Chains A and B, each alone.
Chain A
Amino acid sequence: MKPFTTLTAPAAPLPIANLDTDQIIPKQFLATVERTGLAKGLFYDLRFDEEGREKPDCPLNQSAFADAQILIAGANFGCGSSREHAPWALADFGIRALIAPSFADIFYNNCFNNGLLPIVLPQGAVDELMAEAKGANHVFVVDLAKQIVSAPSGKTFNFDIDPGRKRKLLEGLDDIGLSLKREEDIARFEDLRRIGAAWRR
């Protein structure tokens, strides 16, 4: 996985709460056996009208945000299904960090397995960042090591992140590789729990 250290990039504002995974990537794009190529379906109903034409009022269609790698959104982002197609689509579109007042659990977790950094900031801070993203200069800096988001105005916001998850992103670690190092523990656990428990497989 590509490590995440610092990111200097435009941020796109999407001031909507409860953006669920059905909106992030509608079901017609789920019938794939690949992890890539999903960018075309990202926020499909927000970005395109019934005839498949771009909606000009959607920030993601505006040239100012064409290179956005950061998304600033409303609370409870990513609620709904467990589909990892949501972070895959975001990543495929070029998004590397998300800023919102809160994220749904499964989505939040899925982000870290795809090199995406979800940043939780208080509503007030998100509102300020959202306002700045709508301004002429909307290049933000995200420094994961220092846990700081810097807005174009120079104003900075500290964010919290669990140290394990931080390390995973910073070093681009593969969870499976790490867990397989525990093979002995896993095998021992399996042996122990079968004792006196004939019903277990």
Chain B
Amino acid sequence: MPGKTLYDKIWDSHLVATESDGTSLLYIDLHLIHEVTSPQAFAGLRAAGRAVRRPDLMLAVADHNTPTLKQDAGIAAVADGEARLQLETLDRNVAEAGVEYFPMGDVRNGIVHVVGPEQGRTQPGMTIVCGDSHTSTHGAFGALAFGIGTSEVEHVMATQTLRARKAKNMRVRFEGAPARGVYAKDYVLAMIGAIGMGGGTGHVIEYDGPAIRALSMEARMTVCNMSIEAGARAGLIAPDENTFRYLMGRAGAPKGGAWQEALLYWKTLHADPDCVWDAEHTIDVSSLAPQVTWGTNPGQVCGVDETIPSPDEYEEAIQRDTARRALAYMGLESGQKLEGLKIDRVFIGSCTNARIEDLRVVAEIVKGARVAAGVRALVVPGSGLVRAQAEEEELDRIFIDAGFEWREPGCSMCLGMNPDIAAPGERVASTSNRNFEGRQGRGARTHLMSPASAAAAALAGAITDVRGMQ
């Protein structure tokens, strides 16, 4: 028997039963919920007279459609009637079921994938699900974490298990040392560009290699976060000393003897040397330029110093069509340079890049400078705690002095369910994870990039090579 991958190990240790048809019942250690994808699940349970089996293994936040201003005013002050109804419904549902909940305005509230790790609830070896595709973020801790639909949310609430089928194993090794100005976001964008937005479909990706080991936990979360943008079920990074140091002392992390016990177990969580990968890729980060997307999916990406490729360069007719459609939507032409392209808005935020390290990078670049005239720039911290930390370090002053709006935590412009959306035709430099048509507002043109590149774009009023600014 060959050795096991990390995914194999976590899968095997959570297998409750396997049905005759091959479906497995997988035990779930942590179930995160938010206001948008849970109401129908609670309603379904109620209609069937079923209870939430393990409310103690759940954690709830309000993040997707919360406003990012005046959260203190409470839910009653949320202007959008439907958003208010979802928030009220979450309030009522979690109170009834006895689920731990950080409501809007609580300093511990924030984007679900920022909050889980921050609270130490995300731990190595766990299975974690949430009705949100970027649940893959938690894989940075060596947890098998993935997004599920609302019917599955209901299933997990009722049974603490999920019906699942095993995915294939893919390994992506990141080698080399990056140039200054190149970050984890650039690694993962380059990877999606290389393997394509469907390149990871049916697989769980395990990231490894010296460039991954050198990343902080926050940067690892950025990489795992975008696994889903390559179509992968989940992304994983084996835990190491970085992981343990990050977790130690956090509210939800084990303490004392239990910590020691957990540590012994966590150290077994890595791929065996003789395991077999169904697919393997290697990315050399030493030759990477800062990455910027030019199209309407995260795989349509190139270095900031490159020119937009021609649709004819793609082998398949569909990809050529997709690229043509994307260029038309984005108002761009092949052969055009990304650098120098005027932008209207900047969004620093989302579960991909709204943690304290991201904000520090941005602050370093914009300190003492001014956002270009005519550009509207937003910094939306990932959680209340990130916001508080930034304020303690007086990063908020730097942002405000530079002309950024300093907001309260939430998903905000990542998906534009709250009032933070871009107008048709507006070009956005965004640190989020999706550049789909209409994602940030109908007709809005999103360019995904790292926080450093977005900060540079804010100052220049155009897409810029941040390497020339640092």
Which residues of A approach B to under 8 Å, CB–CB? 16-18, 20, 22-23, 26-28, 30-35, 45, 50, 74-76, 79-84, 87, 102, 104-106, 109-110, 113-114, 123, 162-164, 167, 175-176, 178-180, 182-183, 185-186, 189-190, 193, 196-201
Known: A105-B231, A164-B23. 17 other contacts (CB 8 A): A22-B415, A22-B434, A22-B438, A32-B82, A35-B40, A50-B443, A80-B434, A82-B133, A84-B37, A105-B233, A106-B148, A162-B22, A178-B19, A186-B160, A193-B13, A193-B27, A197-B261
Given known A186-B160, A198-B257, A199-B261, contact A175–B151 (CB-CB < 8 A): yes
Nearest CB of chain A from residue B340's CB, rounded to whole Å: 28
Between A and B, 30 residue pairs with Cβ closer than 8 Å are A17-B321, A17-B322, A18-B197, A20-B297, A20-B436, A23-B436, A23-B437, A31-B417, A33-B40, A50-B442, A50-B443, A80-B133, A80-B436, A83-B36, A84-B150, A102-B198, A102-B201, A104-B231, A106-B146, A109-B152, A110-B149, A175-B163, A176-B158, A176-B159, A182-B161, A185-B17, A189-B16, A197-B262, A199-B258, A201-B29
Q: List chain A residues, Cβ under 8 A from B319.
A: 17
Contacting pair A81 B155 (CB below 8 A)? no
Residues of chain A within 8 A of B65, CB atoms compared: 30-31
Instruction: For the complex of A and B, list the 10 residue pairs with the smallest distance between their C-beta atoms, beginning with the closest.
Output: A164-B21, A113-B151, A199-B254, A31-B82, A82-B147, A110-B149, A33-B39, A84-B149, A84-B150, A199-B262
CB of A29 to closest CB in B, whole Å: 9
Contacts of B231 in A (CB 8 A): 76, 79, 104-105
User: For the complex, is B424 an interface residue (Cβ under 8 Å from A)?
Assistant: yes
A16: chain B residues at CB < 8 Å are 321, 325
- In the complex, which residues of chain B have a beta carbon less than 8 angstroms from the beta carbon of A106? 133, 146-149
By a CB distance below 8 angstroms, the chain A residues around B123 are: 199
The total of chain B residues at the interface (CB under 8 A) is 78
> A17 — which chain B residues lie within 8 A by C-beta?
318-319, 321-322
Contact pick for B22, options A23, A30, A164, A182, CB 8 Å: A164
**B172: CB under 8 A from chain A?**
no
Q: Which of A33, A82, A179 contacts B86, CB < 8 Å?
A: A33
Per-residue CB contact flags for chain B residues 19-61 toward chain A (1 = under 8 Å, else 0) read 1011101010100000011011001000010100000110000
Shortest distance from the beta carbon of B81 to any chain A beta carbon, whole Å = 9
Query: B416 within 8 Å of A by Cβ?
Result: yes
* Given A106-B147, A106-B148, A30 and B48 contact (CB-CB distance below 8 Å): no
Cβ-closest chain B residue relative to A110: B149
Bound: A30/B439 CA distance, A: 13
The CB with the most chain B CB atoms within 10 A, among A178, A190, A199, is that of A199
Q: Are B261 and A198 in contact (CB under 8 A)?
A: yes
B318 CB, nearest partner CB in chain A, Å:
4
**A186–B92 CA distance with the chains assembled, in angstroms:** 28
Residues on B with C-beta less than 8 A from A26 are 438, 442
**Known A-B contacts A113-B149, A176-B50, A179-B25; A27 and B417 likewise in contact (beta carbons under 8 Å):** yes
With a CB–CB cut-off of 8 A, which chain B residues contact A201? Answer: 29, 56-57
For the complex formed, measure the closest distance between the CB of A43 and the CB atoms of chain B, giving whole angstroms. Answer: 11
Task: Contact check, B318 vs A81: say whether CB atoms are below 8 A apart.
Answer: no
In the bound complex, residues from chain A placing their C-beta under 8 Å from that of B36 are 30-31, 83
Given A32-B82, A33-B86, A79 contacting B198 (CB threshold 8 A): yes
Q: Are B151 and A110 in contact (CB under 8 A)?
A: yes
Q: Is B89 an interface residue (CB 8 A)?
A: yes
- Nearest-neighbor residue (CB-CB) of B157 within chain A: A176
Tell me if A18 and B297 are in contact (CB < 8 A).
Answer: yes
Bound CA–CA A199/B416 (angstroms): 38
Compute how far the CA of A45 lies from the CA of B201 in the bound complex, rounded to whole angstroms.
26
B318 touches A74 (CB 8 A): yes
B197 touches A76 (CB 8 A): yes
Interface contact B155-A176, CB-CB below 8 Å:
yes
Q: Are A22 and B439 in contact (CB under 8 A)?
A: yes
- Which residues on the B side are within 8 Å of A45 (C-beta)? 437-438, 442
Nearest-CB distance from B147 to chain A (Å)? 4
- When the two chains form their complex, are residues B21 and A163 in contact, meaning their CB atoms are under 8 A apart? yes
In the complex, A185 Cα to B19 Cα: how many Å? 12
Within 8 A of A (CB), among B148-201: 148-152, 154-155, 158-161, 163, 165, 167, 197-198, 201
Complex alpha-carbon distance, A113 and B150, angstroms: 9
